[in-house]
């Protein structure tokens, strides 16, 4: 059976992101090669990968061959750095959406590039919200503080940052079970 994976903020080709995220790579070529290896070691050819925004920095036609090497059927939940006007960029994805709700192994999952503090089902714990965008910045710390401060039996706040730089992601697409095992 095909698996479903999630990842956000890969920022392939983005030299400054290495410094901004304190990523363990010497340059964009090193980052691309190692993240490609991680990706393909985790994801099978027929698996589904939801990329929650900011896939590649300033996509050029020559980037198509690199991106085609990434295993899986890719669905892009558009982020602020995803410029989807390039025909080759669009061809990489089975779909490009702004927001998505899916069921993964019986769990309702709300997918967005941006964290939503009052996502669909946030009040009852039945839904999980996966997001990116905030990296490990002060904004990310603010979102995490909101989650921690408001988590209770009445409001479980099952929302998780799946940015590739998060320790539980380790620059690799992860299944929902892997994410929940490391975050709940």
DSSP state, residue 56: B
pLDDT the model gives residue 143: 93
Count of domains forming the chain? 1
* pLDDT given for residue 104 in this prediction: 96
Three-class secondary structure of residue 174 per DSSP: strand
**Which residues fall within 8 angstroms of residue 86, CB to CB, at 6 or more apart?**
59, 61
Range of the domain at 60: 4-183
Q: What percent of the chain has pLDDT over 90?
A: 74
Neighbouring CB atoms inside 10 A of 137's CB total: 13
What value does the mean pLDDT take over residues 148-170?
A: 89
Where do we find the tokens 């490391």?
182
Give the separation between CA 27 and CA 159, rounded to whole angstroms. 31
Q: What is the C-alpha to C-alpha distance for residues 184 and 182, in angstroms, rounded to an integer?
A: 6
What is the CATH number for 165?
Answer: 3.60.21.10
Alpha-carbon distance of 126 to 23, in angstroms, equals 34
CA dist list (Å): 168 to 10, 53, 90, 178: 14, 18, 29, 8
72 vs 154 pLDDT, higher one: 72
Within a 13 Å sphere around the CA of 142, how many CA atoms are in the beta-carbon half? 8
Q: What is the mean pLDDT of the chain?
A: 93
pLDDT of residue 183 exceeding 80: yes
Question: How high is the pLDDT of residue 156?
Answer: 81
How far is Cα 35 from Cα 173, in angstroms, rounded to an integer? 9
For 78-123, write each residue's pLDDT tens digit.
999 988 777 888 889 999 999 999 999 999 999 999 999 889 888 7
């Amino acid at each position: 059976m095909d698996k479903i994976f999630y990842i956000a903020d890969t920022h392939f080709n983005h030299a400054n992101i290495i410094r901004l995220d304190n990523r363990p790579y010497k340059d964009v070529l090193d980052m691309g090669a190692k993240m490609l290896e991680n990706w393909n070691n985790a994801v099978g050819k027929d698996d589904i990968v939801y990329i929650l925004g900011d896939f590649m920095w300033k996509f050029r036609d020559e980037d198509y061959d690199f991106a085609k090497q990434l295993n899986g059927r890719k669905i892009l939940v558009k982020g602020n750095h995803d410029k989807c006007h390039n025909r080759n960029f669009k061809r990489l994805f089975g779909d490009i959406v702004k927001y998505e709700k899916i069921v993964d192994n019986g769990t309702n999952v709300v997918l967005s590039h941006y964290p939503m503090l009052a996502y669909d089902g946030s009040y009852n714990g039945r839904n999980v919200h996966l997001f990116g965008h905030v990296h490990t910045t002060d904004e990310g710390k603010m979102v995490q503080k909101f989650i921690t401060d408001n988590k209770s039996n009445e409001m479980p706040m099952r929302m998780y940052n799946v940015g590739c730089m998060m320790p539980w992601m380790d620059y690799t697409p992860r299944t929902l079970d892997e994410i929940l095992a490391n975050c709940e």
